[in-house]
Chains A and B, each alone.
Chain A
């Protein structure tokens, strides 16, 4: 990456979406611009037919340039990224550049085999891709006699792209991105976020499928301390790195929980809490014009996640409830959590509102009529309205909390 002039971004599934290609490419370029702007190291983001070229500012500090690269490798819609150098499109300059690159890498990690991959965007270039690759391969061998050519599974791949008749790009790495489609192209979802392991991972998967998240968190202060809220903010910050802007709703849930505790059977409480949460999420989605809500549910993991309970919970929601982790094992979830840097946050000790007042053995097969009977006599619309009213909105952008929200509680 040291001293790269630009980053070559290859898109993932965007390539095959013929009709929508332009829209997806533009969305990806926009997301790249928005989410790297704060680093101050990007000069321009230019979509071309098959690539997005992210031009770096050569005077920006190394840390800022590295952060741009890190961001791109975590940007939904990105298939791979290659830090590249701009070289004049003539064989002499290319041979020198390619051999230099090979020499540096040989000194660093001692590969045994290599290949040159060449492509021409400008077909007027006098040599074919194969001819170019062969000639440049010769230049590498002349400089690094210890290397052998191997076309499949080489230790080192040096790429050359002839962009125009004037210039070409040389790169030696392909760093994988998350793939998928750009955030926002699928629309917005209201996402139920907690301080646990699952829901942040679920949110990140939905982002890779193009969802823009509006997370909401149910906070029962003072029954649950603000350390729990802090965890959620930290997790939302990580998710917000992929979005220019994110609103995190902290829903005041205390009164709902105490009301349900006072008036409903204890073994149904978890299911009833979840029904209230979905009602609130549904109402917020209604206001925001979103078509879905989402959760981190994984089938059979805890009591509220049996099929009968999922059905009873879902019955109150008019929108589809997206559950990307439904069929995931805990190990997969934890792996992703670690990879995204969420694990240490989720592992922090803090209380959780879902366990409040809940008996040791909650009901695993609550039918819809059980729940409805338990809720009879409650003014549900009033409770939902109260939750909406007691929602604190925290604005996040690109990994940071925007408002100074460390002011003392009013």
Chain B
């Protein structure tokens, strides 16, 4: 679905944001220029409603179904339901699965889940849910021993269990196969949900082997269009919809589908999924370059998350500059043209250490000094080199210990 270069508007050929270096790809990514152009073209040419039975509608429907097929053939055994965001996919899975399991009331979520998961679970409390969090170790990994002990007690009552694939603030890769095995043994009726938003294209993971009941994905994290997500649900699908109305998306998500968005998402999905192994190699080398450079600049800097190879997604480098405030570091870097974030930008209005850093029991001084770099496979070695120059120049300007009471 590549578009010829002449279709690209002039601005798309230039780098974005005044040549700044964008290392906040875990927050969101730049839409691939070819996908953006395709999106514009589709919006103008294939605008019919895919539910219409005239030829233009049928053509739109075919495009939508082709996009769905493209994603689904990479997830054998799963049905793809398009949503307007990762968050919506998460809510559909958790609330939808709880809704069809009236006799089971327990919802287990890892302590480091994205707020979308935590809030979706909380929304079930008035409906009788008992929400429990699963503790994690200092690296952010689900404590499977404690999970097993808990499942041995209440496994029969578990309706939904949610563990993410890659932790969005730390990059921790969660032991999903182990969780799956524990659920199979102690809670075979439970719906196992995996938030895979940060995993797609950034680690090599095989949804079939993990065998969860559903995975949520978001398009904007992989250079696809904004406002697009999907839930891949294992067949046979049994979920209660959140949105009802026209009965689109197999009755699971009413609302006129975004056909151009779905096509753009599918294109981005292919690039992310099919070339994950290559992306990982590239990301690992960038991450190592960045981490080593930072260690040279600031020997006291502490990298969070699992240290062993393969324990952490190479797309995320969460690092603390002890004695400094992460926010000030972020702004100082920004002033020099390097974008990153403190913790997770999705909800960075919070001032105190977020739930993730608290869950891993992080020293408040380290938590306060934490900055997250989000790498994409589109980043280059030269960009990391430049980023390190910026860090070296900007860091001394951030007051150390200034705000520690």
Residues of A within 8 A of B (CB): 61-64, 66-67, 225-227, 230, 406, 408-409
User: How many angstroms between the C-alpha atoms of A64 and B275 in the bound complex?
Assistant: 11
Q: Is the CB of B58 within 8 A of A66?
A: no
Residue in A61, A63, A66, A408 whose beta carbon sits within 8 Å of that of B55 in the complex = A408
Q: Is the CB of A66 within 8 A of B274?
A: no
Which residue from chain B places its CB closest to the CB of A349 in the assembled complex? B53
Q: Is the CB of B275 within 8 A of A226?
A: no
Flag B270-299 by CB within 8 Å of A: 1 or 0 each: 000111000000000000000000000000
User: How many angstroms between the C-alpha atoms of A230 and B60 in the bound complex?
Assistant: 12
User: How many angstroms between the C-alpha atoms of A226 and B57 in the bound complex?
Assistant: 10
Whole-angstrom distance between the Cβ of B233 and the nearest chain A Cβ: 16
Residue in B46, B63, B275 whose beta carbon sits within 8 Å of that of A61 in the complex = B275
Residue in B54, B63, B73, B76 whose beta carbon sits within 8 Å of that of A226 in the complex = B54
User: How many angstroms between the C-alpha atoms of A61 and B46 in the bound complex?
Assistant: 30
Residues of B within 8 A of A (CB): 46, 53-56, 58-59, 61-63, 73-74, 76, 206, 273-275
Known contacts A61-B275, A63-B274; is A230 also within 8 Å of B73 by CB? no
Q: Is the CB of A406 within 8 A of B62?
A: yes
6 A-B pairs closest in CB distance: A406-B59, A61-B274, A230-B58, A227-B53, A226-B55, A63-B74
Q: Is the CB of B53 within 8 A of A225?
A: yes
Which residues of A sit under 8 angstroms from B61, Cβ to Cβ?
A: 230
Beyond known contacts A63-B73, A64-B274, A406-B58: 17 more, CB 8 A cutoff: A61-B275, A62-B206, A66-B76, A67-B73, A225-B53, A226-B53, A226-B54, A226-B58, A227-B58, A230-B61, A230-B62, A406-B46, A406-B55, A406-B56, A406-B59, A406-B62, A408-B56
User: How many angstroms between the C-alpha atoms of A50 and B305 in the bound complex?
Assistant: 54
Which residue from chain A places its CB closest to the CB of B69 in the assembled complex? A399
Which residues of B sit under 8 angstroms from A409, Cβ to Cβ?
A: 55
User: How many angstroms between the C-alpha atoms of A62 and B274 in the bound complex?
Assistant: 7
A to B CB contacts below 8 Å, 10 in the list: A63-B73, A63-B274, A67-B73, A225-B53, A226-B58, A230-B61, A230-B62, A406-B46, A406-B63, A409-B55
Which residues of B sit under 8 angstroms from A406, Cβ to Cβ?
A: 46, 55-56, 58-59, 62-63
Which residue from chain A places its CB closest to the CB of B45 in the assembled complex? A406
Whole-angstrom distance between the Cβ of B66 and the nearest chain A Cβ: 9
Which residue from chain B places its CB closest to the CB of A226 in the assembled complex? B55
User: How many angstroms between the C-alpha atoms of A406 and B65 in the bound complex?
Assistant: 14
**Residue of A225, A230, A406 contacting most chain B CB atoms (<10 Å):** A406
Whole-angstrom distance between the Cβ of B55 and the nearest chain A Cβ: 5
Q: Is the CB of A63 within 8 A of B273?
A: yes
Which residue from chain A places its CB closest to the CB of B74 in the assembled complex? A63
User: How many angstroms between the C-alpha atoms of A62 and B55 in the bound complex?
Assistant: 35
**Residue of B55, B273, B274, B275 contacting most chain A CB atoms (<10 Å):** B55
Whole-angstrom distance between the Cβ of B61 and the nearest chain A Cβ: 8
Which residues of B sit under 8 angstroms from A225, Cβ to Cβ?
A: 53-54
Which residues of A sit under 8 angstroms from B58, Cβ to Cβ?
A: 226-227, 230, 406
Which residues of A sit under 8 angstroms from B59, Cβ to Cβ?
A: 406
**Residue of B53, B54, B275 contacting most chain A CB atoms (<10 Å):** B53
Which residues of B sit under 8 angstroms from A63, Cβ to Cβ?
A: 73-74, 273-274
Whole-angstrom distance between the Cβ of B77 and the nearest chain A Cβ: 12
User: How many angstroms between the C-alpha atoms of A225 and B62 in the bound complex?
Assistant: 16
User: How many angstroms between the C-alpha atoms of A287 and B275 in the bound complex?
Assistant: 47
